[in-house]
Structure 1
Amino acid sequence: MFTNSFWALIPAIIAIALALITKEVYSSLFIGILVGGLLYTNFSFTATIQHVFVDGMIGQLSNSWNVGILIFLVVLGSMVMLMNRAGGSAAFGKWAIKHVKTKTGAQLATIALGCLIFIDDYFNCLTVGSVMRPVTDKHKISREKLAYLIDATAAPVCIIAPISSWAAAVTGFVDGANGLTLFVKAIPYNFYAILTIVMMLTITFAKVDFGPMRNAELNSFSTKKGNDSSQHASMTGAEDQPAPPVSIKGKVIHLVLPIAALIICCVIGMIYTGGFFDGTNFVDAFAGSDASVGLVYGSVAALIITIIFMLATRVLSFSECMNAIPEGFKSMVPAILILTFAWTLKSMTDSLGAATYVAGLVELIADNHTFMSLLPAIVFIIGAFLAFATGTSWGTFGILIPIVANVFSSNINNELLIISVSACMAGAVCGDHCSPISDTTIMASAGAECKHIYHVSTQLPYAFTVAVVSCISYIIAGRVRNWLICLPISVILMIATVFVIRFILGEKNK
């Protein structure tokens, strides 16, 4: 009765609506999960309990990909704690104060670092957060703004980087064509990803913020201690804990070397899983990599290197290193809990047939040749809605890209196919960017140490603004079908939109 229909999306819609209304994530997600279980079992109590906890939660936590991501999270939390205890983060903060002298400079440095770490979005969120948090705090940039900058340089950058775990995922969903070639050709049409970067740079240089983010920035600027308030002490908004001892011997190298080791080891780990050391070339190794396993290999290797380095330079004793590891685990518990609930909610919508329902809608639209020029814009909207409701961009790729490729018989010389596939990717990233149950959004909150629902509510107006401009750009692209014309128009529209918002805010303040 409730499967393969609009009802399949109801659990996610309820969870997201409750989270935005109540500002409480855990209970909202659990209620959404419970509703999904009830719909699937036609309101049978015992069957609902079985489906929610056994098929859903336990099933997701026994999934090898998910377990790999959780291990990566825990190891990364331990590494961050080691860098903090060694004084590396504090030393980098002092160094950055001397060299990054303005609030604009701090934001640009965050954006630049986020764009440089394009290998994987999870890795991006937690690394950029741990490195830039002391710098942005000193310049009184709110944790909400930091979380937005992290989130906006995670998935949007990964989805236009040919060498990334995201490129590998997308190429795997294209049958009957060279997936990597199609991915590269689609990059100039990935309006949401490109315009998100344009949006960040424009609001940074123009010094404009709007919506809840404006209030967050004003509160941060007016607080003497910057972002040290208790509501941003952790993702959960818990009260501050007593500060752990920090080594006075720490130097910038005690942050830079672990981060460098993490980047190098994770890249090696990913290409190793793709068969690089068995003779596969670098690009194909990335395309065939298992990002979850590769990140585990890389992060564990980097953790061992970090511990050896801390001991060799005598900034921490062996017992201090070992004590930092469980403390790092504790710091990641909120992210792990939200991720577990988000994955379980996704399993509820999957069991109800959300993918089948949305696939049917797309095929129905694609069969109507009257809408062919509007297909990219329609695919973008559907992709955004599906990713928003399910919290997964990769799952959205898996549903929409094969359908679009089939419509055009996987002919990579068809410009409308390229635009439509790009619209799939852009819509998926857009919905993922907006959704409070998205794993990347959760990671961004963890990286910035910002209360998750604050990050979501402040980011939504920004993401929605870019989404509207992107949708207009896809309408233009569906008719013009030339990125050399469409891309400059979309960039001009995005910049103009920000300055119109700035003008309106100025008039309102007057």
Structure 2
Amino acid sequence: MINTVFSLLPPLIAILMVILTRRVLLSLGVGILTAAVLLSEFNISKTFSIILTATKGIFISDGELNTWNVYIILFLLVLGVITAFISISGGSRAFGEWAMKRVKSRAGAQMVAAFLGIIIFIDDYFNALAVGQVSRPITDRQKVSRAKLAYIIDSTSAPICVVSPISSWGAYIIALIAPILVAHNVTETSAFSAFIQMIPMNLYVWTAIAMVFIVALRNINIGAMRVHEERAVFEGQVLDSNKPAPGELKEDLPTSNKGTVGDLTWPILALVIGTVGSMLWTGYTAIEGKATLLAIFENTDVAKSLILGGLVGLTVTMVLFFRQVFIFKGVNGSLMVTGLIEGVKSMLPAVYILMFAWVIVDLIGQLETGAFLAQFVENSNLNTAYLPVILFIIAGVMAFSTGTSWGSFGILLPIAGEISAVTDISMLLPAMAAVLAGSVFGDHCSPISDTTILSSTGAGCNHIDHVMTQLPYALISAVIAIAGYVVFGLTGSMVPAWLMIIVLLLMFIFVFSRKKNV
């Protein structure tokens, strides 16, 4: 069953069930069970042993604490507590009122979220959660649905990180590229230079980001997104109250009427400074040789940095809460326990989904689903002119099925290098850029992707609602990117490929702007 076509069954079953039942934990659970059955070769007792081992692996790996997963979970819980106390201190209310005077349209609120997504390019996890915290009061006041906010967050987190050399993603990709260039005797280009040259070749990323601004400015609502936007505009409900939304407080907490904008901005600013500072510190302390900015980001411990930054943000939040209690007398001190409990409870749905996703990704890895798809690429008789478009599609399928773009990078980038080296070395950079683009696309669409999960958490949107409303925009962006890669294959130049993308985006604007939108 390992490294065969059957290895595709668990992700396909999980994804199909998610679409059909809209029950994410049930769907992931069935996918996990299917993967374990295949790994155990239908041995029932071994099946449950495999599931138990994979679940244990979330917390304990190689006899040691799995700090990456544990720190991510703790960061989510800390962020939930910060959100609760910002609300209690009156920060969210004050910030919403302040924003209403300056952001006076639904398009403006969406543009603020989009620009914040681009500015915060250090890490996709941090991007998704931080942008959500800042943007939610603004978009809620302007009656922008949480589904639309989640789409904006998701489309400006991983896409902007994958083309930023100074980010956790950029450092990881450059580290992968370096040995590929050495292996194929490409000495005239450094790994950093190759990364920079690949940025304009990542057609999906730029198409997806352009789509965000088009959708925001032209108010284009496709498919299920129209339902959410109409409910927000006409009924004032930014999310479906009948569905659980990770990151959303379960009950209305008492709010201080003496809160200020600073009660929201100072905790978020402390969170940003604390996280970025921790990333610089953990990266610097891990370097043995010369400490360059790129080397720092290559060696940084993202998960540790997130929890350290979260604790800094939480400390500032609690100081402001106690100021409201003892100085302004705006709220009762007994709300401290309530805030802690409600903050943690608000993040539990996201934690559960994330844990299930980690388990199924682990089992899919053991089934070597990615390796099977990679082998398919290697064994295919590819026309090198169409290598980028084919790799884009394969990377998209792989990332969608496995829920990890980084895993797809690790598997497919060396394969792209190998195929290019033995056929046409001039295709090396476009082929690797297409792998990056396709992996982000697949990850963007996958309901089992941690980035997708955290985007819905940051926006306070039901996870499946986010997946289903985002899918049409992601697919349209992918089709436009594919057309660009086809033109590149025909012409051998990125200039006509970009012209094709611009023309198709203009056609998209013309066609969908004529339709009646909210």
TM over 0.5: yes
Q: Percent identity?
A: 38
1:67 is aligned, of 49, 70, 83, to 70
2:357 equivalent in structure 1 = 342
Mark the CA change 1:37 to 1:139 in structure 2 (over 3 Å): closer, same or farther. Answer: same
Q: Does 1:389 align with 2:404?
A: no
After superposition, the C-alpha distances for 1:304-325 in whole angstroms (9 at most, x for unaligned) are 2332344356466776446423
Segment drifting more, 421-430 vs 308-317: 308-317
**Are residues 462 and 228 of structure 1, via their aligned partners in 2, closer, same or farther at CA, if it must alter by over 3 Å?**
closer
Question: Closer, same or farther in 2 for the Cα pair 1:82/1:424, shift >3 Å?
Answer: same
- The letter for the 2-side match of 1:255 is L
Report if aligned partners of 2:92, 2:261 keep a CA contact under 8 Å in 1: yes
Decide whether aligned partners of structure 1 residues 228 and 38 sit closer, same or farther in structure 2, where only a CA change above 3 A counts: closer
Deviations 1:88-124 (A, max 9, x none): 1111100111111111111111111111111111111
1:199–1:498 CA contact under 8 A, matched in 2: no
CA–CA separation in structure 1 for the residues paired with 2:215 and 2:251: 36
The one-character-per-residue Cα deviations of 1:14-40 (angstroms, maximum 9, x if unpaired) are: 000001001111111100100111111
1:461 alignment counterpart:
472
Q: Say whether the 8 Å CA contact 2:386–2:486 is kept in structure 1.
A: yes
Tell me how far 1:189 sits from its aligned partner: 0.9
Counterparts of residues 252-401 of structure 1 (less than 5 Å): 252-275=261-284, 280-312=291-323, 314=327, 320-321=335-336, 323-365=338-380, 368=381, 371-401=383-413
1:63-107 Cα shifts (integer Å, max 9, x gaps): 332222112211222222221111111111001111111111111
What corresponds to 1:40 in structure 2?
Answer: 39
Distance 1:322 1:170, change over 3 A: farther
Give the CA RMSD over aligned residues: 2.4
Find the partner of 2:217 among 195, 200, 205: 205
Structure 2 CA distance for aligned equivalents of residues 287 and 242 of structure 1: 41
Match of 2:63 in 1: none
Query: Unpaired segments of 5 or more residues in structure 2?
Result: 61-65, 182-189
Question: TM-score scaled by structure 2?
Answer: 0.90
| 2:261 partner letter | V
Give the drift of 1:439: 0.7
Give the count of matched residue pairs: 497
Letter aligned with residue 3 of structure 1? I
Distance 1:15 1:352, change over 3 A: same
Deviation at 1:172, TM superposition (A): 2.5
Matches within 5 A, 1:29-178: 29-54=28-53, 56-62=54-60, 63-174=66-177, 175-177=179-181, 178=190
Within the candidate set 444, 452, 471, 2:455 is matched to 444
Is the CA contact (8 Å cut-off) linking 2:384 and 2:420 kept in structure 1? no
CA distances 1:149-182 after superposition (whole Å, capped 9, x unpaired): 1111111111111111111221232214443332
CA offset at residue 52 of structure 1?
1.0
Asked if structure 2 preserves the Cα contact closer than 8 Å seen for 1:167 and 1:180, the reply is no
Query: Could you state the TM-score of these two structures normalised by the residue count of structure 1?
Result: 0.92
Partners of 2:445 and 2:29 in 1: CA distance: 19
CA distance in 2, matches of 1:208, 1:229: 20
Q: Which piece of structure 1 moves more, 16-25 or 441-450?
A: 441-450
The answer for the alignment partner of 2:12 in structure 1 is: 13
The answer to whether the Cα contact below 8 Å between 2:487 and 2:496 also exists between their aligned partners in 1 is no
What amino acid is the match of 2:2? T
| Mapped partners of 2:419, 2:334: distance in 1 | 61
Deviates further, 120-129 or 57-66: 57-66
- The answer as to whether partners of 1:122 and 1:440 remain within 8 angstroms in 2 is yes
Alignment CA distance shift 1:180-1:318 (3 Å): farther
42-51 or 321-330, which moves further after superposition?
321-330
CA deviation after TM superposition for structure 1 residue 147, in Å: 1.0
- Whether the 8 Å CA contact 2:393–2:438 is kept in 1: the answer is yes
- Larger mean CA deviation between 110-119 and 470-479 belongs to 470-479
Distance in 2 between residues matched to 1:276 and 1:244, nearest whole Å = 42
Moved segments of 4+, more than 6 Å? none
Q: Secondary structure at the match of 1:213?
A: helix
1:499 aligns with 2:502: no
String of CA shifts for 1:372-404, please: whole Å, max 9, x gaps: 011100111011111111111111111111211
**Matched-pair contact (CA < 8 Å) for 1:389–1:435:** yes
Looking at structure 1, the residues matched to 56 and 406 of structure 2 have their Cα atoms a distance apart, in angstroms, of: 21
Decide whether the 8 Å contact of 1:198 with 1:495 is kept in 2.
Answer: no
**Secondary structure, aligned partner of 2:57:** helix
Contact 1:147 1:445 in 2 (8 A): yes
Are the aligned partners of 2:39 and 2:367 in contact in 1 as well (CA < 8 Å)? yes
- The alpha-carbon distance between structure 1 residues 251 and 233, as it changes in their structure 2 partners (threshold 3 A), is farther
Shift of 1:432: 0.7
The residue identity in structure 1 corresponding to 2:266 is L
Aligned to 1:402: 414
CA distance in structure 2 between the partners assigned to 1:143 and 1:125 by the alignment: 13
